[in-house]
């Protein structure tokens, strides 16, 4: 018979340091950016009517809830057993076939369902891409600034990140070439370049056609994959972005990532990777979560088949164009001479330069005025030493009334902090 423990198990565990158990990844990665959570993020503000311009979430008043409910009801009344059981590692074939048809038309390529794997949002896609392609110490080149969820995921897979600047034409390709050279000279291997070329989060910029071609050539010459994040590509205002990098490269060496989060709703948690069959096979091999919810995938297939998706996207383009124009006018009329910006041609975000004060001080003063947004440093790898010059405003879910008030509230904030 074993002797009784000297201490109660609860006492033993309460005196044990959790860090002894954590993986290297859990020890390395910090908590997510508060803005990744979307609408819930708030700095404390005394204002009775705060304007939240923080998270990239769709317009709440336009969510197609009724159409989704009807699609779900049809799925459950027709074949509940199929939608309510395991669905396989690549995800529901019909939805993959629907995506293949849509994306083939968009990219001018002949894709089929085996060029697609479905995941838990674009985030799930990226996580699995990292699992399939990265090993400890590999290098990934990203935009600087970049969507903070991406950089967290890559760091979580123990890869090293090199940030390359973004200007009005998108990611600097000479910067990518220099980063490749630097990594190679240190004996490191660059596995992929991640970029969000259309209406980028956070800057709203779009990569020029010339740079797309240059990036394809550069990466092919160095045998480096391109991960093209097309989260906002369909949400243009007047004109679509240039052809995708995937289309320009004929699919060679490119994994294109898409999501229903911004074109429908973030709560669906469904995204896809479009890639060569070889790459899709690699992604399937390292997937251990038994797939994405078949019930939601069947519902989405039904929603799209019934013709609800394209008219919804068209309506959203008009709504976001009006929101963006309202914000632009408000900043232009209400907040000069403190902001400098280029109006984006699509997406959810406005990126502006703060004139005369650092963005962290502007963000704190704006919170007192009831205007909530993250400082631009949130989107850089080195949040402490990055020049504190810019701010991202998300206009997608703020009302037109609120967007029109942003300029004057921001000006009041600047007046408190400018030298
Ligand atoms: C550029 C970009 N990629 C990916 C995502 C992740 O979206 P989800 O996982 O909801 O598809 C986001 C969300 O804000 C984003 O802005």
| pLDDT tens, position by position, 156-182 | 999 999 999 999 999 999 999 999 999
| Domain identity same for 286 and 347 | no
Pick the residue whose CA is nearest to atom 16 on ligand 1: 201
pLDDT value, residue 384: 83
Residue 217: CB partners within 8 Å, gap ≥ 6? none
**Radius of gyration, CA atoms only, the chain:** 23
The answer, yes or no, to whether residue 331 has pLDDT greater than 80, is yes
pLDDT value, residue 30: 72
The answer, yes or no, to whether residue 272 has pLDDT greater than 90, is yes
pLDDT value, residue 375: 87
| Domain identity same for 84 and 59 | no
pLDDT value, residue 31: 65
16 located within any domain: no
187 located within any domain: yes
Q: How far is CA 160 from the centre of its chain?
A: 19
pLDDT value, residue 386: 87
pLDDT value, residue 209: 98
Task: Locate 269 and state its tokens.
Answer: 């948690």
pLDDT top residue among 46 and 398: 398
pLDDT value, residue 325: 98
User: If you measure from the C-alpha of residue 231 to the centroid of ligand 1, how many angstroms do you get, rounded to a whole number?
Assistant: 6
Q: How far is CA 12 from the centre of its chain?
A: 42
Mean pLDDT across 201-224: 98
Query: How many Cα neighbours within 13 Å face the side chain of 232?
Result: 29
| Domain identity same for 159 and 225 | yes
Cβ of 209: how many Cβ atoms within 10 Å? 13
Lowest mean pLDDT among 25-29, 96-100, 215-219: 25-29
Beta-bridge mates of residue 392? 351
Angle at CA of residue 179, ends 175 and 181, nearest 5°: 115
| Domain identity same for 273 and 321 | no
Ramachandran bin of 347, using left for φ above 0, alpha for ψ from -120 to 50, beta for the remaining angles: left
The model's confidence at residue 387, banded by pLDDT at 50, 70 and 90, is: confident
Best mutation site among 201, 230, 348 for ligand 1 pocket (most ligand atoms within 8 Å of CB): 201
- pLDDT over 70 percentage in the chain: 96
Residue 87 has phi, psi (to 5 degrees) of -120, 0
22 located within any domain: no
Task: Locate 137 and state its tokens.
Answer: 């110490």
| Domain identity same for 158 and 234 | yes
Ramachandran bin of 88, using left for φ above 0, alpha for ψ from -120 to 50, beta for the remaining angles: left
User: If you measure from the C-alpha of residue 212 to the centroid of ligand 1, how many angstroms do you get, rounded to a whole number?
Assistant: 21
pLDDT value, residue 32: 65
Which helix H or strand E contains 417, and what residues bound it?
helix 400-417
Cβ of 46: how many Cβ atoms within 10 Å? 9
d(CA 417, CA 358): 9
| Domain identity same for 349 and 226 | no
151 located within any domain: yes
User: If you measure from the C-alpha of residue 349 to the centroid of ligand 1, how many angstroms do you get, rounded to a whole number?
Assistant: 13
- What per-residue string of b and e applies to 147-156 under the rule 16 or more CB within 10 Å gives b? bbbbbbbbbb
Residue length of the chain: 419
Which helix H or strand E contains 362, and what residues bound it?
helix 359-368
Residue 36 Cα: closest atom of ligand 1: 14
18 located within any domain: no
Question: Which stretches of 145-287 are DSSP H helices?
Answer: 148-156, 173-185, 209-221, 245-248, 277-285
The answer, yes or no, to whether residue 95 has pLDDT greater than 90, is yes
Binding-site residues, ligand 1, Cβ < 6 A: 56, 121-123, 147, 149, 196, 201, 229, 231, 259, 261, 266, 271
Reported as a single tens digit per residue, the pLDDT across 230-247 is 999 999 999 999 999 999
pLDDT value, residue 383: 82
Average pLDDT, the chain: 94
Question: 204, 169 in Cβ contact below 8 A?
Answer: no
- pLDDT over 90 percentage in the chain: 86
Residue 405: which domain range?
27-63+311-417
| Domain identity same for 70 and 81 | yes
d(CA 364, CA 358): 10
Mean pLDDT across 257-273: 97
| Domain identity same for 147 and 194 | yes
User: If you measure from the C-alpha of residue 186 to the centroid of ligand 1, how many angstroms do you get, rounded to a whole number?
Assistant: 32
Angle at CA of residue 299, ends 295 and 301, nearest 5°: 120
Question: 116, 273 in Cβ contact below 8 A?
Answer: yes
User: Based on the structure, what is the number of domains in the chain?
Assistant: 2
């Amino acid at each position: 018979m074993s002797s009784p423990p000297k201490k109660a198990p609860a006492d033993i565990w309460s005196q044990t340091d959790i860090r002894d158990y954590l993986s290297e990844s859990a020890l390395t990665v910090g908590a997510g950016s508060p803005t990744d959570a979307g609408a819930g993020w708030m700095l404390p503000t005394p204002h009775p009517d705060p304007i939240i311009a923080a998270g990239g979430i769709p317009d709440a008043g336009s969510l197609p809830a009724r159409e989704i409910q009807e699609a779900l009801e049809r799925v459950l009344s027709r074949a509940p057993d199929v939608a309510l059981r395991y669905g396989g590692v690549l995800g529901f074939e019909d939805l993959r076939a629907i995506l293949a048809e849509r994306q083939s038309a968009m990219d001018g390529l002949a894709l089929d369902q085996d060029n697609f794997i479905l995941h838990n949002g674009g985030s799930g896609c990226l996580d699995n891409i990292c699992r399939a392609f990265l090993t400890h110490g590999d290098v990934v080149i990203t935009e600087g600034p970049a969507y903070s969820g991406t950089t967290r995921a890559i760091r979580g897979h123990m890869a090293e990140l090199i940030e390359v600047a973004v200007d009005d034409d998108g990611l600097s390709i000479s910067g990518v070439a220099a980063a490749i050279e630097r990594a190679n000279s240190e004996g490191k291997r660059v596995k992929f370049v991640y970029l969000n070329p259309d209406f980028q989060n956070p800057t709203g910029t779009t990569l020029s056609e010339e740079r797309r071609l240059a990036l394809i050539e550069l990466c092919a010459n160095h045998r480096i994959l391109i991960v093209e994040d097309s989260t906002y590509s369909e949400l243009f205002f007047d004109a679509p972005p240039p052809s995708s990098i995937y289309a320009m490269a004929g699919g060679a060496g490119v994994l294109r990532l898409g999501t229903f989060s911004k074109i429908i709703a973030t709560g669906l948690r469904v995204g896809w990777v479009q890639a060569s069959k070889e790459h899709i096979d690699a992604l399937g091999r390292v997937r251990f979560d038994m797939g994405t919810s078949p019930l939601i995938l069947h519902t989405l297939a039904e929603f799209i088949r019934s013709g609800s998706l394209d008219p919804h996207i068209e309506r959203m383009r008009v709504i976001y164009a009006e929101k963006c124009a309202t914000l632009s006018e408000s900043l232009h009329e209400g907040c000069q001479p403190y902001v400098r910006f280029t109006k984006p041609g699509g997406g959810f975000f406005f990126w502006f330069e703060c004139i005369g004060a650092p963005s962290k001080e502007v963000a704190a003063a704006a919170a007192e005025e009831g205007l909530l947004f993250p400082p631009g440093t949130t989107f850089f790898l080195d949040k402490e030493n990055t020049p504190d010059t810019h701010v991202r405003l998300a206009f997608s879910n703020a009302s037109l009334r609120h967007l029109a008030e942003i300029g004057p509230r921001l000006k009041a904030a600047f007046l408190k902090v400018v030298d």
